[in-house]
Amino acid sequence: MASPPVLHTGVLASVPSRLLHPHTIPVGPGPVGIVVTPDGATAYVAASGGAEITAVSTATDTAGSTVPVGAGPWDLAVSPDGARLYASRPAAGVVGVVSTASHTVTGTVTGLATPKGLAVSPDGTTLYVANTGGGTVAVVDTATHTAITAVDVGGAPDTIAFRPDGAVAYVSVPGSGTVRVVSTASRAVTATITGFTTPTGLAVSPDGTTLYVADSGRSALALVSTATHTVTATAALATSPVSVSCSPDGTLVYVTTPGRDSVTVVNSFSATVTTTITGLVSPQRVTTTVDGLRLFVTNGGAGTVLAVRRPASITPNAGSRGGGTTVTITGQGFTGTTAVRFGSRLAPEFTVVDDSHLVVVTPSGTVSGALVQVTSAGGRAGVGHFYYRRLPLLESLSVTEGPMSGGTVITLTGRRFTGVKGVWFGKTFRSVTVLSDSRMTVVAPPSAVAGHIPLHVTNQGGVSNTLSFTYVATMAITSLGPISGPRTGSRPVNINGTGLGAVTSVTFGGVAAVFKVMSDIKVQAITPPGPPGPAAVVVGTADGRTATSPTPYTYT
């Protein structure tokens, strides 16, 4: 028998006892999919080893009626209005449609190929089905329960997740190591996200800015920007993850790791593991109550659902050693809080928002990983750790100047780059690729003006020192004055243009001339002798750039 589930964070003693003690709910053999209705009243569980769906009351944590749907139900999805439940049955090649009012099957979507992952569009008009046996995603009209089209995703799809605005659906394709981005308007793949080994579970943050990818092949959780479709951070896990879900407030990410019989809890802000729920038996999926205060985990190897309180969280969970970081602590039993400690130091300010939330200003500190404890009439409890960070330090740039058009790739060298999200070029922000704690790269943005621009970065510890990057105007000659002169040379000529400050050579018809750089827009040269006729005027720089006058100089 498995040992009782263990949570490595605490809550105050004033929390009702029903929420303090994890307990299991029998639901049938091999439970996998689980969803909570939008009203929060019922959790539905698919018993893949049986032929039914079990309705669980979230008020009493007890199993109620069962819905016979046929052998092997796998994944579940619920309509936004809560009226319909969809259940995939891979072996039968169908998706069953269940009325949540009558708990009966009212329709069937047929013609599918080993359907597994399901997702309903936010507007409820379409159901997306992962056809693992066909390498496609079926788009189903929820009014008629018929497939409208099939989107080729280039391999067997696993999981589907919609962005909250409904504009795109993300589809994991484990065999190709990619996540496909499907436009819901064109119903076609519009982008491919790479950088994974075996992506399986997917979840999108409530604000729609981040896609969480369970990379089973790398034993990691990848965080992907939904704006750029690039991996922005990675959280290392103890073993291969299978599925992912987010807390309703977006502060925690829950990752099932069946190989360790556990659920790993990741802080979404810092992409760090904050705690682990252990003592499970091959956990498959996690969902939460509507308020996010409790979790339901399908115990695939035990035929049960674990009901357990939400772990406490601190967001952000890192900040400056000087203190002053405003953090939100989420937990339970915070009414009547009298003190909040970070290690041995009292927080200078805190506000009790409600029984589940505190807003706290951190004191100064130097010990990274300071235990945070909350004290109230119910006692004292640890709610997590806060990590004091030092400021990032910039030491050098691989390239110190570039064109005003931008596009220069710069490698920054320094210290404490972990947690850095981007570089500020003056007031313009650009995302970075952090290669290590001491190296990162960034692409310079365009600039409307030439000259020196200060660069700085920030991490959870604060703002770095600055280094200078110089935008160089595009070198060009716009005019000459005068445009002609004697073949004997020795005539002063003004070469006018832009970006001329770096000129190191001037030629007339290929013959070097004596010159002086007057400014970024003017070079004065003395013509060398030349044969009668036109002569091209060319300026050059030490790095090989050249510019030619649109009008030649004419020797007379």
pLDDT value at residue 92: 97
CATH superfamily of 23-309: YVTN repeat-like/Quinoprotein amine dehydrogenase (2.130.10.10)
Give the pLDDT band of residue 416 (cuts 50, 70, 90).
Answer: confident
Beta pairing, strands 484-485 & 553-555 = parallel
**Domain residue limits, the chain:** 23-309, 313-389, 393-472, 476-555
Taking all residues of the chain, what is their mean pLDDT, rounded to a whole number?
91
- The CATH architecture of the domain made up of 313-389 is Sandwich (2.60)
User: Do 23-309 and 393-472 show the same overall fold?
Assistant: no
- Rounded to the nearest 5 degrees, what angle is found at the Cα of 294, between the Cα atoms of 289 and 296? 75
- Tell me yes or no: is domain 476-555 CATH 3.90.79.10: no
Three-state secondary structure of 16-31: CHHHHCCEEEECCCCE
Scored b (16 or more CB within 10 A) or e, 247-258 reads: bebbbbbbbbbb
Classify domain 393-472 at the CATH topology level.
Immunoglobulin-like (2.60.40)
For residue 217, which phi and psi values (nearest 5 degrees)? -70, -20
At 25-68, the pLDDT tens digits run 999 999 999 999 999 999 999 999 999 999 999 999 999 999 99
CB 96 within 8 A of CB 84: no
Q: Residue 322 and residue 324: Cα distance in Å, rounded?
A: 7
At 347-385, the pLDDT tens digits run 999 999 988 889 999 999 987 788 899 998 778 888 888
